[in-house]
Amino acid sequence: MNRRIFTGLLAVSMLSLSMASCGDDDGVIDYSGKVEEVVDDGSGWPVLKHRKYVDGTFRGAVNYNAHPHFRVACGISAGELLDMSNPACKAVLEHFDEVTMGNEQKYASIVDDNGNMNFETVKKLVAFCRQNQITLYGHTLAWHSQQRDRYLANIANRYDNDLDKKDAITKAMEKWIDGCMKATDGYVTCWDAVNEAISGGGDYKGKGIYVLQGHGNTDPNNLNKESGVFYWQDFLGAEDYIPIVVNTARAKFKLYGGNPDHLKLFINDYNLESDWDGNKKLKSLIEWIKIWESKGCRVDGIGTQMHISCYEDNGIMANKKRAIENMFKLMAQTGKLCKISELDMGYQRKNGTSAHYDNLTEAEAQKMADYYEWVVTKYFEIIPPAQQYAICQWCLTDSPKNSGWRAGDPAGFWKLDFADKWPMFDGFLKGLENSKKYD
């Protein structure tokens, strides 16, 4: 399904609100006691060292000596993060180690229809994160959605044969990644190299794995001009797409002063917890990574989005939990870094309707809280500490009813006005605290 087109709208729509302050009694949160240093522990990439974190905060719930690479992260927009008076920014500085932008690092947010790139907002984000000692996750270098398809299609259509098209589109990708690495100046060390590559259907060359998303050819009639969709993989080739992105990223990161050993590149996708096909999408992704790596690149991690729902029907819940547990086991077996990249949750009733934030019962909210705790606890139970990268909560608040993403869902930890917390806040916190069982 193509619902992820709206993912990038989420952080903006969730947080672009007039919200009451949160924190201590006078509305001001004191962060002076919280100190972070970014150091190298000899493992080959930066580790956050945390001290003096306040009990009851997400970031204070994990023993970072036992889980040295782990980050508690959230999705947010630049407008909220860059405004220190915004309650969303205050929530980040109190609770989270890392932020992921919903839109601001995506292609169409930076590149115009003539191919000109404007990274000023990205540079401001890097400066803010440096000053406040939080990490900025790069989302995303390559995706088929939120693209300047007219500009890219015009490049491809200058040529008649597929080899020339591939060369031209490769140069366009290299130009884009060069700009990303120059603007982030070596500070952003972890990226979604490619987002949502796997289709969820088909059979690639009889290998029993799903094909990549795309039209499958470079016919100009399939370019969907002005739709915002451009399948880079149709031009670069299914087996060369990720190696081109990954190897270009490593070269450009080094060019602009980054330590190559610190750069970690992820493949991020949704429905990896699929119970309807026995986690076949994840199994396909794992096999695809083997194919891509055989072409001379290295993928460092797997991101599982986990846009999930809690079900009133306990039978359905049992199936969902089995698939999630199997997903974590499969991810752990790869030996790669493992990230929950866009976690959020809705509630499905037995009658087939979704509960909204204004009619969610106390019992339903508690069931969601218990589910959050279970998911986070299972992550720490199954994923070895050396492979734990992050859990990123995609929604901080309820989704407004006019949103393009999970409209009306109680998808976050705070209510719409930020004045109160849902029980899901405590469930997520308990899950993080349960990490200490696996120190």
State the number of CA atoms in the 13 A half-sphere of 178 facing the CB.
8
In 3-state terms, what secondary structure has residue 343?
strand
Share of the chain above pLDDT 90, in %: 81
Give which of 41, 67, 196, 183 is closest to 120, Cα–Cα: 183
- Cα separation, 314 vs 223, in Å, equals 44
Could you tell me which of 335, 353, 336, 354 has the C-alpha nearest to residue 345?
A: 354
- List the domain range (segments joined by +) for residue 254: 3-438
Integer Cα distance of 188 and 370 in angstroms = 33
Residue 18 clears pLDDT 80, i.e. is over it: no
Categorize the per-residue pLDDT at 8 as very low, low, confident or very high, splitting at 50, 70 and 90.
Answer: very low
Question: Can you give the pLDDT at residue 54?
Answer: 75
Name the band, by pLDDT with cuts 50, 70 and 90, for residue 27. Answer: very low
| Strands 35-40 and 46-51, sheet pairing | antiparallel
Question: Is 424 exposed, middle or buried, given 0-12, 13-18 or 19+ CB atoms closer than 10 A?
Answer: buried
Q: Which residues pair with 99 in a beta bridge?
A: 74, 136
pLDDT at 22: 32
Note the pLDDT tens digit of each residue in 344-362. 999 999 999 999 999 999 9
Tens digit of each residue's pLDDT (9 = 90 or more) over 72-93: 999 999 999 999 999 999 999 9
Residue 42: pLDDT band with limits 50, 70, 90: low
Question: For 137-168, how does the pLDDT look when each residue is reduced to its tens digit (9 = 90+)?
Answer: 999 999 999 999 999 999 999 999 999 999 99
User: Which residue is it, tokens 């451009």?
Assistant: 230
Task: Please calculate the CA angle 43-48-49 and round it to the nearest 5 degrees.
Answer: 105
* CB-CB neighbours of 255 under 10 Å: 12
Local confidence band at 53 (pLDDT 50, 70, 90 cut-offs): low
Domain CATH for 147:
3.20.20.80
Q: Where are the beta strands (DSSP E) in 131-281?
A: 135-137, 190-195, 264-269
pLDDT band at 46 (very low <50, low <70, confident <90, very high): low
Angle between helices 241-255 and 162-184 (to 10 degrees): 40
Domain count, the chain: 1
pLDDT at position 16 is 35
CB 229 within 8 A of CB 210: no
